[in-house]
Amino acid sequence: MSQTNGTKTTQLRRAAEDAFAEELEALRGADDRPRPPNWLLSPQAVVTYLMGGRLESGFEVTPKYIGDRRLMEVAVATLATDRALLLLGTPGTAKSWVSEHLAAAICGTSRLIVQGTAGTSEESIRYGWNYALLLAKGPSREAVVASPIVRAMEEGRIARVEELTRIPSETQDSFITILSEKTLPIPELNEEIAAARGFNLIATANNRDRGVNELSSALKRRFNTVVLPSPATIEAEIAIVESRVAALGRAFEIPAEPPGADQIRRVVTIFRELREGVTADGKSKVKQPSGTLSTAEAISVVGSGLALAAHFGNGHLSAHDLVSGISGAVIKDPVQDAIVWREYLETVVKERSEWKDFYRAARESA
Ligand SMILES: Nc1ncnc2c1ncn2[C@@H]1O[C@H](COP(=O)(O)OP(=O)(O)OP(=O)(O)O)[C@@H](O)[C@H]1O
Ligand SMILES: [Mg+2]
């Protein structure tokens, strides 16, 4: 049961609709544009919620997605039609984050969610049975245990599927009827569940995962795909890390100074250079490590560095606090990646005079 008072301060991670309830309320109050059936906000207001902005009353809406506004417009417009939305991209490009905020803004809940894994069953997409009731009374509507997708259909809300391509292909096919017929037959009862207006689906999938199940073309056709790119410029990526780290620092009440812009710039520069295989000035090639170095990892490196600085340092994020996090993120394969990292330190980091403290800290911890 949700206790709105208690959850505010004690819940480790609040859903977007709770964490940003005030913003959503303000947007709702100011929104005079037409809303699609059963939507809480107009498409315009949903995009303002995602991209941030100032309302006429002066109320500030914080940006959630930092990037191309057009992508969010396409995503929101898709959800207002009968096509479902597939957010595709490399790891850490905010697919899950955007999916959560879209669902929260459009229908007030981001919790109607199915996590895709190799073990996701048809039952968890469609419905199961309450066996005690089934045995006692036989098949009845009461004995049907609806999946989050079916609940979204009944309530006319947005359902979310995380990591769609990890679900085995045969199981994925369950979505075809749901998305094309907008109904789900329950043969045992000779009935069907019809989706209420407002129902739609947001799926996320990673286009880097190996060993995943391709989407069948029949299913692909039911989705409009929006590809979320890695941040185009270093400035954009720094802005993302800065705003997320500030939010994390507040959430965990980390008693440290906000990190200096130069520290964040350094982490982001290192990640981008290793990810792209070339230095920022485009002059030298660098070897790429085996793992992914996404914005999400940069956020977590700076976040854990801050915790180190706060609890074991002097409260100021230093190179020393960042080094272990960065090398941990880079070195996923203990042999190959260690070589890549050492080479990067010696050929790139060492040459930058303003990075001396970082070079020293990295050498000391090696
Ligand atoms: N463009 C962006 N704007 C705002 N936040 C971003 C952006 N890119 C990444 N982030 C942040 O990165 C973090 C990770 O994002 P998220 O978990 O949504 O990634 P994902 O694409 O779902 O990755 P995965 O494929 O690993 O599931 C989030 O905290 C999110 O705020
Ligand atoms: Mg994700």
CA-to-CA dists, residue 358 to 84, 98, 262, 346, angstroms: 47, 34, 12, 12
Residue 57: CB partners within 8 Å, gap ≥ 6? 26, 30
99 and 141 in a common domain = yes
For residue 69, the ligand closest to its alpha carbon is 1
250 CA distance to ligand 1 middle (Å) = 18
CATH number, residue 113 = 3.40.50.300
| Ligand 1 lined by 296 (C-beta under 6 Å) | yes
pLDDT score, position 114: 97
Its pTM stands at 0.90
- The secondary structure element, H or E, covering residue 32 is none
pLDDT of 211 reads 53
Tens-place pLDDT, residues 26-44: 999 999 999 999 999 999 9
Q: 227, 255, 272 — which closes off a domain?
A: 227
CB of 94 sitting under 6 A from ligand 1: yes
The DSSP secondary structure of 289-320, one letter per residue, reads: PSS---HHHHHHHHHHHHHHHHHHS-SS--HH
Domain residues for the domain of 126 are: 69-227
Residue 272 is assigned to a structural domain of this protein:
yes
4: confidence class by pLDDT, cuts 50, 70, 90: very low
pLDDT confidence bin for 250, thresholds 50/70/90: confident
- Residues 321, 199 share a domain: no
Q: Which of 47, 86, 97 has most ligand 1 atoms within 8 Å of its beta carbon, as the pocket-test mutant?
A: 97
Domain end call among 179, 201, 227: 227
